[in-house]
Amino acid sequence: MKIHKNIFFFILLLSCTVTSAQQTPAAKQTESVLITGATAHIGNGNVIEDSAIGFKDGKISYAGPQSGVSASEYNKVINAPGKHVYPGFIAANSTLGLVEVDAVRASNDQADTGDLIPHVRSLIAYNAESKIVESCRPNGILMAQVAPRGGLISGTSSVVQLDAWNWEDAAIKTDDGIHMHWPNAFRSEGWGFSGPSEFKPNKEYEKEIQAITTFISGAKAYLKGDKAPKNLPYEAVSGLFDGSQKLYINTDGEKEITDAVNFAKENGIRNIVIVGGGEAHKVADLLVKNNIPVLLSRPHRLPSGEDDNVKQPYMLAKMLSDKGILVGLEMSGAMERMNTRNLPFYAGTFAAYGLDKEKAVQIITENNARILGINDFSGTLETGKDATLFISEGDALDMRTNILSHAFIQGREISLESHQTKLWKRYMGKYEAGR
pLDDT grade, residue 269 (50/70/90)?
Answer: very high
pLDDT of residue 308: 87
Residue whose C-alpha is closest to residue 97's, from 138, 129, 141: 129
Whole-prediction pTM? 0.91
Q: How far apart are CA 249 and CA 254, in angstroms?
A: 13
Q: How far apart are CA 78 and CA 164, in angstroms?
A: 25
Burial of 327 (0-12, 13-18, 19+ CB in 10 A): buried
pLDDT grade, residue 1 (50/70/90)?
Answer: very low
Average pLDDT, rounded, for the chain: 92
pLDDT grade, residue 168 (50/70/90)?
Answer: very high
Residue whose C-alpha is closest to residue 92's, from 336, 293, 328, 325: 328
Residue 346 has pLDDT above 70, yes or no: yes
pLDDT tens per residue, range 348-363 = 999 999 999 999 999 9
Residue 162 has pLDDT above 90, yes or no: yes
pLDDT grade, residue 423 (50/70/90)?
Answer: confident
- For residues 358 and 54, the answer to whether their CB atoms sit within 8 Å is no
Q: Domains (ranges, CATH) in the chain?
A: 20-87+379-435 (2.30.40.10), 89-376 (3.20.20.140)
Segment 149-165 shows an average pLDDT of 96
pLDDT grade, residue 21 (50/70/90)?
Answer: low
> What percent of the chain lies above the pLDDT cut of 90?
79
Q: CB-based contacts of 303: which residues, under 8 Å, 6+ apart?
A: 278, 309, 310, 312, 313
Instruction: Point out the least confidently predicted range of 33-37, 197-201, 249-253, 324-328.
Output: 197-201
Backbone dihedral angles phi then psi of residue 207, each to the nearest 5 degrees: -65, -40
Segment 299-314 shows an average pLDDT of 89
